[in-house]
Structure 1
């Protein structure tokens, strides 16, 4: 039976503690990056599947999230990118495939743009280079501050955070920590809002143009839909005609939680087609 376990690996960059879930495995390296206010554990199902398919998999708690430094001073996109580079170097990852959802996908393609040759491929789940809509930061901040914390039970957290989707609720709830008789987020809402400052200032189309490695963009396609609209995706393809794209019917923004098996098949198919197959 395949192992379901992971070990913690810690990288310190500029005094900031970065915690990683190292799932082990052999074959091409994969580094997975979660979204805003998320955590590395959101990738557990995908990480197991990729590890068992013949890849070496690491999932990072990005700065300000999960088991990493809770209150780092720098919330810039540049800092997030530098963290990825440090993890790649410290853990000796060999041109890893960068897989990121939402803010993590944004970090992934900015890393590939700033450091050509660092990664051999990108998988962007519900992430793109367009600017955030006016009011996005304010809306996200208000939502995070409105959580009825502490949650009194795991069931209460799943129900609240899932919005009727149990898999999504479980994914978000698994990132909470137990203290003072309840379950609390492992992030500071104000740092989360600051992490979007650069996105609010404008898009990242120049960086998107600079990405040279093969890229798969996976979008949600459900009643609630995802955050990447048709116009943004069309512009992404217009700049990079070789972009691989796929949508997953019945999903929203959290494709990786709602349809981990489908996402896995899309990732493996894309990588094998590009010659990044299992060992």
Structure 2
């Protein structure tokens, strides 16, 4: 796939790719990651008859630095802009981690545009972190060790069944963080609040699917968090045994069929 670019003004742009034909699905990755985290998801959705777009968040991968915001709200605006650029909705949003918060925000703000939400390893409210944990994260993302430290730390989010190409994906993340001001952009992203997404959970009307690994290290009780999110969006829940924060990459054999089935029902009812 060739890389395309979406102009976001003032010389800043977002990198995206799109493949397939059919109803549009836009996938949003989380902070410190790349659109290629969906490398096992996209082929399954294309084979199921969808047109799938993935994009790099601001200051990540092939996208530009220099934006004035890097939060859920900004990512939601970018996802909606990409939907509009690709012909408009209704479209489905797939979001992982911060990308799930962005998907929630977008669905609440533009219900006519978002036909369905699939929230994978969602972060739609602020985790309760100690001051020591926040300091550790801040120190982790400093030069010169930041890119390598994060790429190494990233592996802990795959506790059960890491994909065979995880080392190659980590290397791509490390290389990305060494470009331009990407490390500073990542720090800005990591320092944002998910409160805007949490506040809009009651306004979500689109059908929703929540997929959570039961070993997701972002939460002291991942199963309880998954149930809370599913109840908040009145959605279906799929728990992935042994998986961490990236269930779609750890267990695509379980996540892809659930996602295809959900999208089929959601688009049929749209």
Return the TM-score normalized by structure 1.
0.80
Report the Cα distance in structure 1 between the residues aligned to 2:144 and 2:258, rounded to whole angstroms: 33
Q: Which runs of 4+ in 1 moved over 6 A?
A: 156-160
Q: Are 1:268 and 2:268 an aligned pair? A: no
Could you tell me which residue of structure 1 aligns to residue 169 of structure 2?
A: 171
Could you tell me which residue of structure 2 aligns to residue 141 of structure 1?
A: 138
Deviation at 1:247, TM superposition (A): 1.0
**8 Å Cα contact 2:212-2:226 kept in structure 1:** no
SS of residue paired to 2:205: coil
Could you tell me which residue of structure 2 aligns to residue 3 of structure 1?
A: none
Deviation at 1:112, TM superposition (A): 0.6
Deviation at 1:55, TM superposition (A): 0.7
Structure 1: runs of 5 or more not aligned: 1-5
Q: Are 1:199 and 2:193 an aligned pair? A: yes
Structure 2: runs of 5 or more not aligned: none
Could you tell me which residue of structure 1 aligns to residue 13 of structure 2?
A: 17
Deviation at 1:77, TM superposition (A): 3.0
Which deviates the most, 31-40 or 68-77? 68-77
Report the Cα distance in structure 1 between the residues aligned to 2:44 and 2:60, rounded to whole angstroms: 24
Q: 1:205 to 1:150 in 2, by over 3 A?
A: closer
For 1:9-88, list aligned pairs within 5 A: 9-15=4-10, 16-22=12-18, 24-88=19-83
Aligned residue pairs total 260
Return the TM-score normalized by structure 2.
0.82
Deviation at 1:161, TM superposition (A): 4.6
Report the Cα distance in structure 2 between the residues aligned to 1:52 and 1:187, rounded to whole angstroms: 37
Q: 1:128 to 1:8 in 2, by over 3 A?
A: same
Q: 1:168 to 1:103 in 2, by over 3 A?
A: farther
